[in-house]
Amino acid sequence: MKQKIVWIVPALLVLLGIGLLFVRNFEDVTEPPDSDWSRPLELGETVTSDSPAVSSATNGAKIAYLTEEGVKQTGYDQEYSSTEETNIDIPVDKFTSIATPGNQLVYSDYHQLFTEKKEKISDLDTFLPLQNEVIFTKGTDVYVYEEDGSLTSILTLPDEKAEVLTYENHDGTYLATRITESSGNHLTFYHLKDGTLEKVREADIPLQSGEELKEMHFAAAENDIRLIQSTLQKQSMTGKKKQLHYYAAFPAEEEASAPKMSRVTFSDPVTGKSLQELSDIELTVRGDKSLLLFKALGKTDTMFNKETQFNIYQAQVKEKGVNRVTRISNTPSLLSLLNGSILIPSSGWIKREIIMRSFLLPTRKQL
């Protein structure tokens, strides 16, 4: 027995030392999270890369997403505890997308729009799923599907090639029609509130020679409109297409002067160099601030590895440039972002994994 103790005690000390060394080395090679980093809470698994449908509810939110059997909708309180769960049987394939405004659910199979009871509503060309509205285009007409089952044509597009952009806030839904021209893009902004569509203003957004449009997003505040435009430089000194970004804030008035687009850059908080391959941009307005959420290639600051990888970032943008860039989460496999914080009490980020695309919702209360 004494001989065993002689061997057991040193062995335990060795194991303890190895454990302490592992913990210390692990802390050295992993970057400690900021106090406001997202902390993931798994919600479920989906079979599509589309964003889930997020809608506001009493003291919380409802999140609906596609499964192999149909739609799963779960209600959450402000602490992200599940309060209710509903499964709805609808046909699902890679073209299926859903919207859950109010107490209804509608889905599209890419060519048609249906109720949750699989009743056809209409043919369509483009489905624009929103939190508070069901909007779609058919030919040159833009329709709203009402909760009572009626269809209302709210706008006629000047061209079938015109693209419709959308933005929602507490003041209603904003639409922008975008027509591509040789010198840039012509935008017409509208405000949809209580079933009435009002024209806000028009604006010409120039495109610099040698550049092509990659992404364009807008947001609306009480008295102005914010716009972010990402372009690709067709040719550069390195032979690679260079990504450029332009921002403008301009009055929401018909007679106001033309927007002045200012070039902005987004610096990596770790290296100070420009972030690369920005995508999945979400533009929102918080007071007098314009906030961008996006995915980009940046550095992860650890003693072990400083390789570039995809992370989630937040940036405050002004006309004179980017005020601040913050890395929100270390998520190299991020495909796209959903910011559900506009219309629900607390923010909701959804992360989609590559294979089964698990949804992860962090517990951050403010962005």
How wide is the angle at C-alpha 49 spanned by C-alphas 45 and 53, nearest 5°? 75
Phi, psi (5° rounding) for residue 236? Answer: -145, 175
The whole-number pLDDT of residue 223 equals: 87
Could you tell me which residues come within 8 angstroms of residue 237 by beta carbon, excluding any fewer than 6 positions away?
A: none
- Cα separations (Å) of 275 from 123, 289, 332, 362? 42, 21, 14, 24
Q: Is residue 124 part of a domain?
A: yes
The whole-number pLDDT of residue 173 equals: 93
> Could you give the number of structural domains in the chain?
1
CB 192 within 8 A of CB 171: no
User: Pairing mode, if any, of strands 196-206 and 211-220?
Assistant: unpaired
Residue 23 has pLDDT above 60, yes or no: no
DSSP string, 57-82: ETTEEEEEEE-SSEEEEEEEETT--E
Q: Is residue 236 part of a domain?
A: no
The whole-number pLDDT of residue 140 equals: 96
Q: Which of 184-193, 274-283, 326-335 has the highest mean pLDDT?
A: 184-193
Q: Is residue 268 part of a domain?
A: no
Residue 135 has pLDDT above 90, yes or no: yes
114: tokens are: 């249906």
Could you tell me which residues come within 8 angstroms of residue 101 by beta carbon, excluding any fewer than 6 positions away?
A: 55, 130, 131, 132, 133, 134, 147
pLDDT > 70 in the chain, percent: 75
Q: Is residue 91 part of a domain?
A: yes
CB 54 within 8 A of CB 63: yes
CB 133 within 8 A of CB 196: no
What distance in Å separates the CA atoms of residue 211 and residue 235, rounded to the nearest whole number?
8
Q: Is the pTM of this model over 0.85?
A: no
Q: Is residue 25 part of a domain?
A: no
Q: Is residue 250 part of a domain?
A: no
Residue (of 178, 224, 222) closest to 204 by Cα position: 178
CA 44 to chain CA mean position, Å: 18
Domain that holds residue 82: 40-156
The residue-averaged pLDDT of 132-148 equals 92
The whole-number pLDDT of residue 141 equals: 97
Q: Is residue 288 part of a domain?
A: no
Q: Is residue 66 part of a domain?
A: yes
Strands of the sheet containing 184-193, edge to edge, are: 163-169, 172-181, 184-193, 196-206
Please provide the average confidence, as pLDDT, over all residues in the chain. Answer: 79
Q: Which of 199-213, 228-242, 308-322 has the highest mean pLDDT?
A: 199-213
DSSP 303: S
Q: What is the pLDDT of residues 253-308, one digit of tens each?
A: 887 788 999 999 999 988 889 999 998 898 998 877 899 988 898 887 655 555 78
Q: What is the pLDDT of residues 52-108, one digit of tens each?
A: 888 877 777 888 999 989 999 988 887 778 888 999 999 999 899 999 987 789 999
What distance in Å separates the CA atoms of residue 75 and residue 63, rounded to the nearest whole number?
7
pLDDT > 90 in the chain, percent: 40
Phi, psi (5° rounding) for residue 338? Answer: -135, 120
The torsion region of residue 59 among left (phi > 0), alpha (psi -120 to 50) and beta comes to left
Length of the chain: 367
